[in-house]
Chains A and B, each alone.
Chain A
Amino acid sequence: MSNETDIKNKIKSNSSLFTNFVKNAVSASPKVQNNFLDVSAQVALTIQKILEDADLITNLEYKGKDFWSENKCKTSCFVDGGVDKTSIISSAPLSIRTGSYIVKPDAADKNREFFEESMVFLGDLYDPKNELYDFAEDDFDEDQMLNKKKDGARIIFEAVTIVKHILLNRKFDYCFLHGPIEATVMPFTVMGFPTFTKFAVENMLPFYNKNKLNAEARHFINVYLEALNSIKKSKFPIYGIVETSNSAPYIKNLLFNYKSKGTISEKDFKSTLATIKNYKITDSHLLEIILQSGQAIKPLEVKKQIKGFSVTSGSAWEEKMDSFPSVHIGYIKINDHSAPIRIESLNPSKNLIKDYEYILATARLLPNYGFPVGLNVVDKFAKIPNWMSKASRKYYATHLLKQAIRSKDQNTISLAVKILSKKVRSWRNRPLGGLAR
């Protein structure tokens, strides 16, 4: 067990907590600067003590060769979405792609791996009344909204991809999503966030038709909630894996639980939360110091959508927040030199240790990066310029022009033409991959 000096050394020598602190030190008050080491070490020691008290730290086993020969029969699916790179120019129509990498290592070549993609255009996704071509007066607002639309589209699309796998009754042993299994929906509760088109919703969630798809039903919040509820019903385990966490949901919930039990006083709870905020301490930072390579902390059940928080307050959607499922979050520290990754699921794990060991093994295949390699693979897949597949390229081109011409706006048309005639990224400039040669 680490003592205080150990912890301090760890903080100084190799933690992202320290790096992060140094980065922010300029803006921090002298007192905060002075106390950083002592305070963060003390927080770490305290949290460690609580984790041990609650028996939340667990050791995972990894024996590369044996592990894989025992698990080669498992079918895993990795899902990631991306914004189509070739179309990022100004506020031109954007396409969202989701890729699935499905692999069963011991299957014959023909059936060993599948790369599946689905693609959609924002213009097709959102209600035409909020056509992306309508330039807003304010560039900043326009960008903000565009980014939200992109995010919303990606989040929905990833969730829907998983739902499709479930609906098609795919026989997976595992399914992993690159990112949170349940995103914070707060940004999409702002006034004026467009609803999805009827066509889009029908296509995304064919079974979802309550209220005959009125505007409210087609809003992001409702569609996403519907998707999450289907994911929750999955027979196979589904995990969202998050690279780095820039908040502290685990620590805060841990402290909250202890406060509820009466183990921590209200006062201590409040002041510790304030300290965490002051020093910008996150789950990743702290657990990086506390956990050893190959260790995990068992999940806690956490509410993702917190009522009365920020913008949501007073919004028409406020009441809806309670309907969202809670999330089980845990962490695994893959190796010595990277922060632990966050593991999220909508249901409690039936085979927690086995599942975590599987995740550890997939991440050990990227020994430096320390992230499940299947997600890295599907990330690359979703980023490949889509003119590689002829059909999507053609679809894209005609779609873009049609949209532009329909808008009857000369600027838009010329923009579309510009994009179409723009030299696509040479295939040689693809993201690096393959064995170093």
Chain B
Amino acid sequence: MNTKKWKSIGTVLGETNISEFYFSLKNYKAKKGDIITTESKVPSSEGKIEEVTVWGKISSIESTNVFFPTEAAQELTNENINIRDTILPTTRDELICKVIILGFTLKNNLKLMPLNYPVRPAAPVSYPSSEDVEALLISDLNSEHPLFIGSLLARDAVKIKIDADNLVSRHVSIFGMSGSGKTVMVRRIMDELLKKKYPMLVLDIHGDYLGFIQKQKKLYPKNEVKLFYPNLSVSSDDKEIIYTLIDKLGNSLTDPQKDFLSSLLEKVKYEGGSLLKYIELLVRKAREYASDSSKSFKNIRPASMYVVVRSLGQVAKKLKNMEQTNFRHRQKMSKLKFEELPDAATEPEKIINKGQLSILYLKGYENLPASAIVSILLENLFKHRQEVEEEIPPFLTIIEEAHNFIPSRSEDKDNLPSVDTIRKVITEGRKFGTGIMIISQRPSRLDETIASQCNSQIVFRMVNQKDQRATTRDSETLSVDDSKQLPNLANGQGIISGQVVNFSLPVQIKFDAELINDDIGNENFISAVENWDDKESVKQRKKFAKDFSNITSIDRRRAN
């Protein structure tokens, strides 16, 4: 580190302390988010005085022209005078930067230590070289497995890496409004983890991750990428989930009807398999009980039983519909190979395996069934990690549109089975290597306990104040100054904080264009319309439409 080569960019001002200071900046020499340094002295533990380099991050910049009298603006406006023609000062904008102190380093050692003595007022402030900033960040991260994710927002040349170990063992939340760059960021992380053969499971609602399948041969020849469609397969253990599903998806039931439903679930044993089959079985059995009422259920009238039968029929119909929708979406992507999701209870290794990325394509499923699917899947996988035999390696679960799976209690959503499961996995996950990454546009709508368990955060552009508040509430490391920056971030610019880095950093995430799903791509409705060609049926309809409309109009005329 050659501090002599660093450019001087300003002077420390007035009162300083050990956590922050202000400095006056020379025009255009640094930006918000930049990492800067100042030389200082601290007393060492041996009572010596040591020369140190103090590192800080510019958290805000204010500009004032102290010499410009307010009155003058009045005359300029009234007389329509160009300020540049007058003797008024225009170039003496004074830039005052607020700096959050990151720590200090000693000569020839890049270990960042907490500052315990204030920086010197009037000391010069320098702009360290990109190599030195990068070296500091790397040394400070002290990571065995760094993941490259992008560059420091204010400085392209400074590459930013985050710590993989903390990423997969703790939990990460990724927030930001729609289109702000969350998914691009997740794909970046997945790319890095794939290279490390770390197993991952992605819950993909929109098909944002299908690019991994398309590019697997080219980009990840040593990895396996599997694409699953959900199969609501249940076992007798999942009675509670089944009850909830039927209760919530079907018609609303009275108390006696509910009693009948739970007794029915008790009575009709099931070895496991498709939920739809089980429901069909339940329908048959319920009909039987209804027709010979006296025997099994004394207190329940057959009429009530038929209500339950009809409700079960409803549930079956809805589930079939969702399966159908999902199927149709899959068909559109005929080039991709979809497999039915294996039973996580009995064959977890088909889902979680070294070097494998598993994508669960959930498009078409309503919240509740999707939640049930996820809940059963994660419960089973987690169980396998808990067991002594450890049938599957540690893995990372990536939950897109997390508000669908872990809504806040205040959202007043139905009691989704996935909430409890994910809460359990996230609180105990550290022990068992089941890290979770939650992604959402609406942090304010997420379950508070789960969100606060995420000890690393990546936040993208966010305008909604409620969401901003929720974000800072859940974070220990995101500062108020950081959160003020959120509305001004551009696509792909995020602030990373928490255990994957050591201090919050504004980052420009690297965009992997290759990982975009070619089949769905980005919404580009204009070109979709440009290339639009009517379907055969539509063409036929259009062919006759004119004739029919003629008939109608003639008909009307006569009526008048």
Residues of A within 8 A of B (CB): 64-65, 68-69, 71-72, 76, 101, 103, 105-106, 109, 112-113, 115, 362, 364-369, 373-374, 376-377, 380-381, 384, 387-390, 393-394, 423-424, 426-427, 430-436
B531 at interface, CB cutoff 8 A: no
**Chain A residue with minimal CB distance to B22?**
A427
B366 → A minimal CB distance (Å): 51
Known: A69-B82, A113-B92, A368-B74. 15 other contacts (CB 8 A): A72-B85, A101-B89, A105-B87, A109-B91, A113-B90, A362-B87, A366-B69, A367-B71, A369-B69, A373-B72, A374-B87, A376-B69, A377-B88, A387-B121, A427-B22
One of B59-67, B271-279, B300-308, B355-363 contacting the partner = B59-67
Tell me the complex Cα distance, A369–B69, Å.
10
Q: Which residues of chain B come closer than 8 Å to A362, judged between CB atoms?
A: 87
Residues of B within 8 A of A (CB): 11, 13-15, 22, 24, 64-76, 78-82, 84-92, 96, 121-124
Q: Which residues of chain B come closer than 8 Å to A427, judged between CB atoms?
A: 13-14, 22, 96
Tell me the complex Cα distance, A65–B69, Å.
18
Tell me the complex Cα distance, A427–B97, Å.
12
Tell me the complex Cα distance, A114–B393, Å.
68
Contact A433 B64 (CB under 8 A): yes
**Chain B residue with minimal CB distance to A426?**
B14
Contact B85 A113 (CB under 8 A): no
A104 → B minimal CB distance (Å): 9
A394 → B minimal CB distance (Å): 7
Return the 8 tightest CB-CB contacts between A and B, nearest first: A64-B79, A68-B85, A433-B66, A434-B64, A390-B122, A72-B85, A377-B67, A367-B75
Which of A65, A101, A389 is in CB contact (< 8 Å) with B79? A65
Report if A72-B67 is in contact (Cβ < 8 Å); known contacts: A112-B91, A364-B75: no
B64 → A minimal CB distance (Å): 4
Q: Which residues of chain A come closer than 8 Å to B82, judged between CB atoms?
A: 65, 68-69
Report if A435-B84 is in contact (Cβ < 8 Å); known contacts: A103-B89, A426-B14: no
Can you sample 28 A-B contacts with CB below 8 Å? A64-B75, A64-B81, A65-B82, A68-B82, A68-B85, A71-B85, A72-B84, A101-B67, A101-B89, A113-B90, A115-B92, A362-B87, A365-B71, A365-B75, A365-B87, A366-B69, A373-B88, A374-B87, A384-B66, A387-B122, A388-B24, A389-B11, A390-B123, A423-B15, A424-B14, A431-B66, A434-B68, A435-B68
Tell me the complex Cα distance, A374–B15, Å.
31
Tell me the complex Cα distance, A377–B91, Å.
13
Report if A433-B67 is in contact (Cβ < 8 Å); known contacts: A68-B86, A103-B87, A112-B91: yes
Interface centre among B82, B84, B87, B89 (most CB of A within 10 A): B87
Tell me the complex Cα distance, A387–B24, Å.
12
Contact A434 B81 (CB under 8 A): no
A120 → B minimal CB distance (Å): 20
Report if A366-B71 is in contact (Cβ < 8 Å); known contacts: A103-B87, A433-B65: yes
Tell me the complex Cα distance, A369–B74, Å.
12
Report if A426-B15 is in contact (Cβ < 8 Å); known contacts: A115-B92, A380-B67, A390-B124: yes
Contact A365 B70 (CB under 8 A): no
Contact A366 B81 (CB under 8 A): no
Contact B66 A373 (CB under 8 A): no
Q: Which residues of chain B come closer than 8 Å to A435, judged between CB atoms?
A: 65, 68, 70, 73
Contact B73 A106 (CB under 8 A): no
A16 → B minimal CB distance (Å): 20
Q: Which residues of chain B come closer than 8 Å to A64, judged between CB atoms?
A: 75, 78-81
Tell me the complex Cα distance, A115–B92, Å.
9
Contact B89 A113 (CB under 8 A): yes
**Chain A residue with minimal CB distance to B64?**
A434
Report if A368-B90 is in contact (Cβ < 8 Å); known contacts: A430-B66, A434-B64: no
Tell me the complex Cα distance, A113–B15, Å.
30
Q: Which residues of chain B come closer than 8 Å to A431, judged between CB atoms?
A: 66
A401 → B minimal CB distance (Å): 16
**Chain B residue with minimal CB distance to A361?**
B86
B261 → A minimal CB distance (Å): 66
B14 → A minimal CB distance (Å): 5
A388 → B minimal CB distance (Å): 7
Tell me the complex Cα distance, A367–B69, Å.
11
Q: Which residues of chain B come closer than 8 Å to A366, judged between CB atoms?
A: 69, 71-72, 75
Which of B76, B78, B122 is in CB contact (< 8 Å) with A394? B122
Contact A369 B71 (CB under 8 A): yes
Which of B14, B68, B85 is in CB contact (< 8 Å) with A105? B85
Tell me the complex Cα distance, A68–B87, Å.
9
Q: Which residues of chain A come closer than 8 Å to B123, judged between CB atoms?
A: 390
Interface centre among A69, A112, A393, A433 (most CB of B within 10 A): A433
Contact B70 A68 (CB under 8 A): no
A435 → B minimal CB distance (Å): 6
Report if A380-B66 is in contact (Cβ < 8 Å); known contacts: A72-B84, A393-B122, A427-B13: yes
Tell me the complex Cα distance, A65–B70, Å.
18
Q: Which residues of chain A come closer than 8 Å to B79, judged between CB atoms?
A: 64-65
Interface centre among B69, B70, B73, B123 (most CB of A within 10 A): B69
Q: Which residues of chain A come closer than 8 Å to B67, judged between CB atoms?
A: 101, 377, 380-381, 433
Q: Which residues of chain A come closer than 8 Å to B66, judged between CB atoms?
A: 380, 384, 430-431, 433-434
A254 → B minimal CB distance (Å): 32
Q: Which residues of chain B come closer than 8 Å to A390, judged between CB atoms?
A: 11, 122-124
